[in-house]
Amino acid sequence: MEWMDNFFGDQYLNTHLPMLTEEVNHQEVNFIENILNLPINSTILDLPCGYGRHSNLLAKRGYKVTGIDYKDAFIQLAKKSSVELDVSKNVNYILEDMRVINFEQEFDAVINLFTSFGYFDEADNFKSLQNMSKALKKGGKLVIDCLNREWAIKETLRNKQVWLLYPNNQVFMAMNNFDIMTSRWISDQIIVNKGKANKVMQSVRLYSYTEFKFLFNQVGLKIVEVYGDNEKSEYTVDSSSMIIMAEKL
């Protein structure tokens, strides 16, 4: 996907790292560890893993983690961080695309975080979900954390333009739209850093809870919990996130 190569370019980490602090990372991992409730040494697939901010912390806590991402620069950063944290023996990083992975009943859990599902067309999104389900052992758990479709519709109708000043003095500007015919959230963004403007675009297929329930059923998964945030708040139309945990049948 051309937009992905541009969006996850050199500017991506400069834009997001100021917000994704160690405190935030630990809070998110605490939540994941809490809802999965797995014994130490359980196997977890982090898909996609980005630069390893969740994988390495999970490995530090004693889980056996496999992190997969399609971007080599992220994989190299994740590996470097695993060495610095002395967790490289507990985590394995693989450069691969989630659409073509081929694990079979190898993991106790699969995690897909930070709105990392829905990047592709309908067929490839479904293929990615099939691969996640196939990778799980029977009774294994899948966690998908994504932007809440209903919230996104309301937000783009209320305020299409977003302006933010990041902690490192970067200026973030976005023009957001929701395409009701394709159910894709499309964000045209400009990030200004030291007087230089970078333009990127993000296009994500957002699924409703009902759609996820239908798709999960097709790949042998059953939803067991849904949350509105990582504080386990009730999921409503006003929740900015939808975090679903499903179990492999």
pLDDT of residue 110: 99
The model's pLDDT over 29-54, given as tens digits with 9 standing for 90+, comes to 999 999 999 999 999 999 999 999 99
Beta carbons of 176 and 187 less than 8 angstroms apart: yes
Report the 10 Å Cβ neighbour count for 67: 28
Strand partners, 164: 172
The set of residues, in sequence order, having a beta carbon less than 8 Å from that of 151 and lying 6+ positions away, is 237, 238, 239, 240
pLDDT at 1: 62
pLDDT at 19 over 90: no
Q: What is the pLDDT of residue 4?
A: 93
Do the bridges between strand 184-193 and strand 171-179 make them parallel or antiparallel, or are there none, so unpaired?
Answer: antiparallel
pLDDT at position 2 over 80: no
**For 152-198, how does the pLDDT look when each residue is reduced to its tens digit (9 = 90+)?**
999 999 988 888 887 778 898 999 999 999 999 999 999 898 888 98
Region 131-154 average pLDDT: 97
Question: Is a pLDDT exceeding 90 seen at residue 141?
Answer: yes
Full 3-state SS string of 103-121: CCCCEEEEEECCCCCCCCC
How large is the average pLDDT for residues 208-237?
98
How far is the C-alpha of 62 from the C-alpha of 48, rounded, in Å?
A: 20
* pTM exceeds 0.75: yes
Task: Tell me the domain boundaries of the chain.
Answer: 2-147+207-248, 150-203
**Which CATH topology does 2-147+207-248 take?**
Rossmann fold (3.40.50)
88: left (phi over 0), alpha (psi -120 to 50) or beta: alpha
